[in-house]
Amino acid sequence: MKSIQLTLLASALFIAACVPERDFRPHVQGGDAERGRVALKELECGACHVIPGVGGAHSNVGPPLENYSRHSYIAGKWPNEPERLIAWILDPPAMAPLTAMPKVAMSERDARDIAAYLYELD
Amino acid sequence: MGPRGIPHRHKALFIGIGAVALMLIGAIAAGVILLSGAYSTSATKQHFWITYRILELGLEYSVNAAADELPIPRVDDAQALPIGHACYREHCVQCHGAPGIARDDLGRGQLPSASSLSQSARDWPAQNLFFVTKKGIRMSGMPAWEFRISDEGIWSTVTFMKRMAFMTREDYAKFDGANANARCPRPTKAEPYTDELAKITLRQYACDNCHRMEGIVGPKTFVGPSLENWPQRKYIAGVLPNTRENLVRWIRDPHAISPDTLMPNLEVTPEHAEHMARFLLDDR
Amino acid sequence: MRQSALHPAANSGAALIDQLGSVLYVGAALIFVLVMTLAIVGVVAKGRDVAVKHWVIGGGLIFPSVTLTALLLYSLAVGNGLSSIGTTNALQLFLDCFGGRESLPISMDQPLKIHVVGKQWWWEVRYEQPNGGEHVVLANEIRIPVDRPVELVLSTTDVIHSFWVPSLAGKVDMIPGRTTRLRVQTSEVGKFRGICAEYCGGQHALMAFVVVTQSPTAFASWLQLQSQPTSAPSDATMRVGYDAFFSAKCHTCHTIRGTPANGTDGPDLTHVGGRAMLAAGILDNHIGTMAGWIAGPQDIKPGNKMPDDAALTGVELRALSAWLGSLE
């Protein structure tokens, strides 16, 4: 009796582990997620956004960035992929002239690292 | 103590343990079936006979119980047939076919296949047909039509279906030809606001397919931004301040506000948009 | 930005306090070691003959009297030194003997007078002009020249606050109905963060400010700039921001000299672009934080007096943030 139960349970768990992962997982070339987290804190992006893992980031001016790697689109207009996200972070008004998100001065490296961190948010 | 063997109180305990063990086995078996993908969800593999019968019966009993709650609209008999036929031609014939007219590809690939209404219209009371057409059937290809066709239009369609059940091929073709200009009426008046109605409205425009919302059960979607905690948000689409008026404007015509937005214009009526905005902005 | 009583600015009141603290700590540590040693010796060398009277009188009377008297005189001198910044008080001279390189240079200047008014949850700052004209009004940032005594005249219009720049001076409360004073002076150029040190309501923890110490010439040109009004911008984008300031009714609470905005419930924004920080010392000052603060002050500082309903379009918000950022 017990052995049957155990076998069934074990097979169930084994099968559950075989669910395929998401087909597309965005990945930033040359981006450092930890540096990105620090950049988010120093640039105080939390003044507008809820960002998991960044202290003090709990504002609702911009959309929350939870689960960011799963988002289909950036700003509702652009497919969410690495190079586009970096371009967006560097200069939002250039891509969406009506947006409330300003162009905040930062290096391309900072933007790349920030994108890398955001793509860790599953 | 009984005359031989196990005492009564122990018997109860064994039965209890046995029941729990059975439930556990059942749960594990169900889990294995689900997670192993053993249960086919394809539309080509047919149901088990018993599954089909149970679903069919379930539908009949459920509709029977619920159909009487719907108020029947007043429709002028002379108007009912041409309007009902217009609606049938616009929305139903593609899946259900008509006398002498085959259904489209859309209606051929489904499981269960859309019923041939000649039989349903004979067997089912008009009230039940009205309910199914208006409210749809979940997990099937039959959508709810109450947000796309007015109640009068739906009742007219039911009236037409009842007549259609007794039409020959020629009868239908003649009717079809003579009624080229009639149009199926869209809903004109929304019901008064309730939270439940607002949730139905949001789902009936398929908003839940792109946006997660509080109180709405739907897919775990990340296509559009989550609308949870919406009253706290300051901007709509990052462009307009989050006020009731702006939200209604946005819902009704996103491209007028943000030209490249991927949010489509779903032709939401003004009242439906008001309901949606009110629900989203309500600080529950 | 420096904010530590253990890391004081050179030749400041905080340096004196730190020195006092060090003296007490080291002195107490030495006495502790001495007492523990005696205790151990007393246990180990049991049975030894001891001149009890000598120990009782010497250790119980003479030693404490001498050390505590010295300590008292020293701490009085420190206290006097703190409050006599910028005077020729004789005790100031006394302090010099003990202070060594930490002593404050005697200054014959009239102290620079700055009024600081604590409010929930920001700081109004008013500079008295040398020619006796109108005060120069700003907020949340204080700049002072080095090597010159500064007298801060402290008050409040609502509840008790306390003015504390740990690296420059000690705390002084701001009490409703009273005026208190704090003398500050330093020879070190730098930026120092200050905070409110008396619980004053929900956002007490987010009520901070910045003190910038500069060379006298830099300070003079800064003060001159602060006294100038601004004017309506001519650039098209900036003009959108300027108009948004009024359409969002910011002018009902804020003053921007040189424009029709003359509200007094909130900080003076005439030169807000040049400040190191925003929202009373809690946000860096750049266009992103400016926009976040304008659009969502209640998310950042819940319960503060700035309402959450600016209701500006995205374009207006960015333009307004850019314009305010340009007011240096």
CA distances C94 to C74, C104, C147, C162, Å, are: 9, 11, 20, 30
Ordered DSSP codes for C168-227:
T---EEE-TT--EEEEE--S--EEEEEEE-S--STTGGG-EEEEEEE-HHHHHHHHHHHH
pLDDT at B252 over 50: yes
User: B237 CA to chain A: closest CA distance, Å?
Assistant: 7
Residues 6 or more apart from C55 whose CB is under 8 A from it? none
d(CA C250, CA C268): 11
Contact B258 A76 (CB under 8 A): yes
pLDDT at C107 over 70: no
Question: pLDDT tens for residues A32-43?
Answer: 999 999 999 999
pLDDT at A18 over 70: no
**Mean pLDDT for chain B overall:** 93
Question: pLDDT tens for residues C183-203?
Answer: 999 999 999 999 999 999 999
Place of tokens 């304008």: C294
Q: What is the arithmetic mean of pLDDT over B242-267?
A: 96
Q: Which residue segments constitute the domains of chain A, with CATH numbers given?
A: 2-120 (2.60.40.420)
Q: What is the pLDDT of residue C142?
A: 97
Question: Does the beta carbon of B166 lie under 8 angstroms from any beta carbon of chain C?
Answer: no
pLDDT at B97 over 70: yes
Question: Does the beta carbon of A100 lie under 8 angstroms from any beta carbon of chain B?
Answer: yes
How many CB pairs below 8 Å do chains A and B form together? Answer: 78
Q: What is the arithmetic mean of pLDDT over B108-120?
A: 91
pLDDT at C73 over 80: yes
Tokens of A66: 């939870």
Burial class (CB in 10 A: 0-12, 13-18, 19+), C112: buried
Place of tokens 């003479």: C62
Question: pLDDT tens for residues A62-80?
Answer: 999 999 999 999 999 999 9
Q: Which value does ipTM take for this structure?
A: 0.86
d(CA B216, CA B195): 11
A9 falls in which pLDDT band (50, 70, 90)? low
* Chain B neighbors of C296, CB-CB under 8 A: 234
User: B180 CA to chain C: closest CA distance, Å?
Assistant: 48
Q: What is the pLDDT of residue B158?
A: 96
User: Which has more confidence, A58 or C173?
Assistant: C173
pLDDT at B68 over 80: yes
> Cβ(C162)–Cβ(C178) under 8 Å?
no
Q: What is the pLDDT of residue B57?
A: 95
Mean pLDDT is lowest, of B137-151, B254-268, C46-60, for C46-60
Contact B243 C308 (CB under 8 A): no
The share of chain C scoring above pLDDT 70, in percent, equals 93
**Mean pLDDT for chain C overall:** 91
Question: Does the beta carbon of B38 lie under 8 angstroms from any beta carbon of chain A?
Answer: no
pLDDT at C98 over 60: no
Question: Does the beta carbon of A95 lie under 8 angstroms from any beta carbon of chain B?
Answer: no
Contact C299 B241 (CB under 8 A): no
Contact B241 C296 (CB under 8 A): no
Ordered DSSP codes for chain B:
--SSSS-HHHHHHHHHHHHHHHHHHHHHHHHHHHHHT-S---SSSPPPHHHHHHHHHHHHHHHHHHHTTSPPPP--HHHHHHHHHHHIIIIIHHHH-BTTB---HHHHS-SSPPP-HHHHHHHS-HHHHHHHHHH--TTSS----TTTS-HHHHHHHHHHHHHHTT--HHHHHHHHHHTSS--PPPP--PPPP-HHHHHHHHHHTTGGGT---TT-------SS---TTGGG--EETTTEE--HHHHHHHHH-HHHHSTT-S-------HHHHHHHHHHHH---
* Chain A neighbors of B231, CB-CB under 8 A: none
B9 falls in which pLDDT band (50, 70, 90)? confident
- In C, minimum Cα distance to A100 occurs at C314
The structure's pTM equals 0.88
pLDDT at C90 over 70: no
Question: Does the beta carbon of A93 lie under 8 angstroms from any beta carbon of chain B?
Answer: no
Q: DSSP assignment, residue C61? A: I
d(CA C154, CA C180): 5
Contact C317 A100 (CB under 8 A): yes
Place of tokens 């490249």: B260
C102 falls in which pLDDT band (50, 70, 90)? very low
Q: What is the pLDDT of residue A106?
A: 97
C101 falls in which pLDDT band (50, 70, 90)? very low
* Chain A neighbors of C312, CB-CB under 8 A: 100
Residues 217-256 of B with CB under 8 A from C: 232, 234-235, 238-241, 243
* Chain B neighbors of C313, CB-CB under 8 A: 239-241
* Chain B neighbors of A93, CB-CB under 8 A: none
Q: What is the pLDDT of residue A23?
A: 86
pLDDT at C225 over 90: yes
pLDDT at C81 over 60: yes
CA distances C277 to A23, A44, C231, Å, are: 44, 12, 23
Q: What is the pLDDT of residue C42?
A: 86
User: B136 CA to chain A: closest CA distance, Å?
Assistant: 30
The share of chain B scoring above pLDDT 90, in percent, equals 83
Q: What is the pLDDT of residue C88?
A: 56
Residue C136, classed as helix, strand or coil, is strand
- Preceding peptide of A63 cis, ω within 30°: no
pLDDT at B187 over 70: yes
Question: pLDDT tens for residues C275-324?
Answer: 999 999 999 999 999 999 999 999 999 999 999 988 999 999 999 999 99
Question: Does the beta carbon of B209 lie under 8 angstroms from any beta carbon of chain A?
Answer: no
CA triple B157-B162-B163, angle to 5 deg: 95
Question: pLDDT tens for residues C262-278?
Answer: 999 999 999 999 999 99
Q: What is the pLDDT of residue B173?
A: 93
C47 falls in which pLDDT band (50, 70, 90)? confident
> Cβ(C15)–Cβ(C81) under 8 Å?
no
pLDDT at C95 over 70: no
The share of chain A scoring above pLDDT 70, in percent, equals 85
